[in-house]
């Protein structure tokens, strides 16, 4: 009997780590990784497009992950036919091809929420937008102003890191242009009571303290709605004066999943059982941001995060290389409680909970850990 083919649909953190885990196990399967792009994109470093001209290290060609028993096919998946075990993909505009599989793993992730153009400001949704933000901010620094006020609407990890990294970069660029440091204000708007609410309150306070040290103010319990005429308006009708607004409002499951006829949650995530099997289909699995996986011990749905995508990828590789008929008893569990946040050059915050105890570091050591985890997530590429 020939080798069985595992097709991995999507080469984000879940997809590449799944391929890597299979390669480590030394499975005898033929692995085909398919993605619409020719490269893995280090999404978590999107802010780099704002703070640096050199963004070459954000893209890793898929060839780097496909050396051992894995092949890469570039194409945008347009249909999934689980009954025939076939996927269809657009090879180039208007050219549709199909690919057969024995096992299909969907890892098509998420996209960043955009805003309506009428809401004003710029949403940090992709690299092109990051570059636009960079250019517009530089233009503002170049035009003489009494004060430069920047609002960042959305206080998740992306908002926190963007505020810290952009703040440090603006300070540096401003100094070069003789802009007085005290004439720059960066305000992060968060709709909850505290930052990183998944961590203990003392970690939120520590994080706020570090942001403050970098000149970033946090406003809590405000939902930004629109940015018009130098004002950011909130849902409670109050407003904040600002010269520029960057939206960092979160992630949503990839919209293409809605066209595949698979069982989805209202949010658009694929429903899977604790072994990442898509309900009612044979040999069809899904992992990463695109799935609704529930940890039965806590009745808690998996968050959209890198560590969660990687831990699911590694667990699924074990599941699929175990006994073909009987699934091993390693159902979905939450990834460890861990937060790694970059706070600009020379600073960061890392928190982990283990054995019921909290461990936290900040400063240079945390920045190093943060860089290490970024590299690890992209398999040191």
Ligand X SMILES: Cc1cc2nc3c(=O)[nH]c(=O)nc-3n(C[C@H](O)[C@H](O)[C@H](O)COP(=O)(O)OP(=O)(O)OC[C@H]3O[C@@H](n4cnc5c(N)ncnc54)[C@H](O)[C@@H]3O)c2cc1C
Query: In the stretch 128-147, what mask flags binding to ligand X with x, by CB under 6 A?
Result: --------------------
CB-count exposure of residue 86 (10 Å: 0-12, 13-18, 19+): middle
- The C-alpha atoms of residue 328 and residue 330 are separated, in whole angstroms, by 6
Calpha distance 265→246 (Å, rounded): 29
Q: Is 227 exposed, middle or buried (0-12, 13-18, 19+ CB in 10 A)?
A: buried
Q: Which stretch binds ligand X (CB under 6 A): 29-37, 113-121, 180-188, 275-283?
A: 29-37
Give the count of residues interacting with ligand X (CB under 6 A): 31
Q: Which residue is nearest to ligand X (CB)?
A: 12
Tell whether residue 254 is a contact of ligand X (CB under 6 A).
Answer: yes
Which member of 21, 31, 44, 369 binds ligand X (CB under 6 A)? 44
Considering only residues 161 to 220 of the shown chain, the ones binding ligand X according to CB under 6 A are none
Vertex 304 angle, CA 299 and 310, to 5°: 95
Q: Return the residue of 6, 8, 15, 350 that touches ligand X, per CB under 6 A.
A: 15
Report the nearest approach of ligand X to the CB of residue 129 (Å).
11
Give least dist CB 328 to ligand X, A.
Answer: 23
Stretch 61-90: interaction string toward ligand X, x if CB under 6 A: ---------------xx-------------
Q: Please give the C-alpha separations between residue 376 and each of 13, 288, 367, 371, 372, in angstroms, as whole numbers.
A: 10, 16, 14, 9, 6
CB distance 162 to 47 below 8 Å = yes
Is residue 236 within 8 Å of residue 95, measured between CB atoms? no
Distance CA 220, CA 238 (A): 13
CA distance 54 to 41: 15
Question: Which residue, 148 or 262, is less far from ligand X as judged by CB?
Answer: 262
Closest separation between CB of residue 312 and ligand X, Å?
A: 8
Helix axes 364-377, 306-320, angle to 10 degrees: 40
Neighbours of 256 (CB within 10 A): 17
Judged by CB, which is closer to ligand X: 151, or 293? 293
Structure tokens belonging to residue 139: 């233009």
* Residue 344 in the binding site for ligand X (CB under 6 A): no
Chosen residue from 87, 306, 319, 349 binding ligand X by CB under 6 A? 306
Query: Can residue 154 be called a binding residue for ligand X (CB under 6 A)?
Result: no
- Helices and strands per DSSP (H, E), number in the chain: 7, 27
Pick between residue 141 and residue 264 the one whose CB is nearest to ligand X.
Answer: 264
Q: Does residue 20 bind ligand X (CB under 6 A)?
A: no
User: Least distance from C-beta 177 to ligand X, angstroms?
Assistant: 27
Give the whole-angstrom CA distance, residue 122 versus residue 115.
8
| 378 binds ligand X per the rule CB under 6 A | no
Instruction: Report d(CA 152, CA 154) in Å as an integer.
Output: 6
For residue 355, the minimal CB distance to ligand X (Å) is 22
Q: How far apart are CA 59 and CA 43, in angstroms?
A: 9
Residue closer to ligand X (CB basis): 13 or 285: 13
Task: Write out the H or E segment, with its range, that includes residue 182.
Answer: none
The residue range among 23-31, 43-51, 127-135, 214-222 that interacts with ligand X, by the rule CB under 6 A, is 43-51
**Choice from 31, 58, 99, 157 touching ligand X (CB under 6 A):** 157
Query: Which residue, 23 or 158, is less far from ligand X as judged by CB?
Result: 158
Confirm or reject binding of residue 152 to ligand X (CB under 6 A): no
Can you give the binding site for ligand X, defined by CB under 6 A? Answer: 10-15, 34-37, 43-44, 46, 76-77, 107-110, 112, 157-158, 254, 256, 288-289, 304-307, 309
């Amino acid at each position: 009997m020939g080798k069985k083919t595992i097709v991995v649909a999507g080469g984000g953190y879940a997809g590449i780590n799944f391929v890597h885990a299979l390669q480590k196990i030394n499975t005898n399967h033929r692995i085909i990784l398919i993605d619409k792009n020719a490269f893995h994109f280090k999404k978590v470093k999107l802010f780099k497009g704002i703070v640096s001209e050199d963004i070459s290290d954000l893209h890793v060609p898929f060839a780097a992950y496909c050396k051992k028993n894995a092949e890469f096919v570039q194409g945008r998946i347009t249909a999934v036919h689980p009954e025939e075990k076939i996927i269809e993909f657009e090879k180039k505009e208007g050219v549709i091809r199909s690919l057969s599989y024995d096992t299909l793993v969907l890892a098509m992730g998420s996209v960043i929420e955009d805003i309506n153009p009428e809401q004003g400001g710029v949403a940090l949704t992709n690299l092109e937008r990051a570059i636009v933000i960079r250019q517009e901010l530089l233009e503002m620094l170049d035009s003489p102003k009494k004060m430069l006020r920047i609002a960042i609407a959305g206080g998740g990890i992306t908002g926190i890191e963007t505020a810290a990294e952009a703040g440090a970069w603006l300070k540096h660029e401003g100094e070069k242009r003789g802009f007085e440091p005290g004439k720059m204000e960066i305000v992060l708007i968060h709709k909850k009571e505290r930052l990183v609410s998944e961590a203990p309150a003392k970690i939120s306070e520590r994080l706020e303290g570090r942001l403050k040290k970098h000149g970033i103010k946090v406003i809590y319990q405000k939902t930004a709605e629109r940015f018009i005429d130098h004002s950011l308006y909130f849902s409670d009708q109050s407003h904040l004066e600002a010269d520029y607004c960057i939206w960092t409002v979160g992630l949503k499951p990839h919209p293409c999943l809605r066209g595949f006829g698979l069982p989805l949650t209202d949010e658009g995530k694929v429903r899977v059982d604790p072994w990442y099997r898509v309900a009612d289909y044979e040999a069809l699995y899904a992992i990463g941001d695109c799935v609704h996986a529930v940890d039965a011990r806590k009745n808690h749905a998996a968050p959209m995060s890198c560590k969660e995508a990687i831990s699911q990828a590694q667990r699924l590789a074990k599941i699929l290389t175990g006994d073909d008929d009987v699934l091993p008893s390693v159902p979905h569990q939450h990834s460890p409680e861990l937060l790694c946040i970059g706070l600009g050059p020379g600073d960061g915050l890392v928190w982990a909970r283990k054995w019921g105890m909290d461990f936290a570091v900040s400063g240079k050591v945390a920045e190093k850990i943060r860089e290490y985890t970024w590299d690890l997530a992209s398999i040191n590429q």
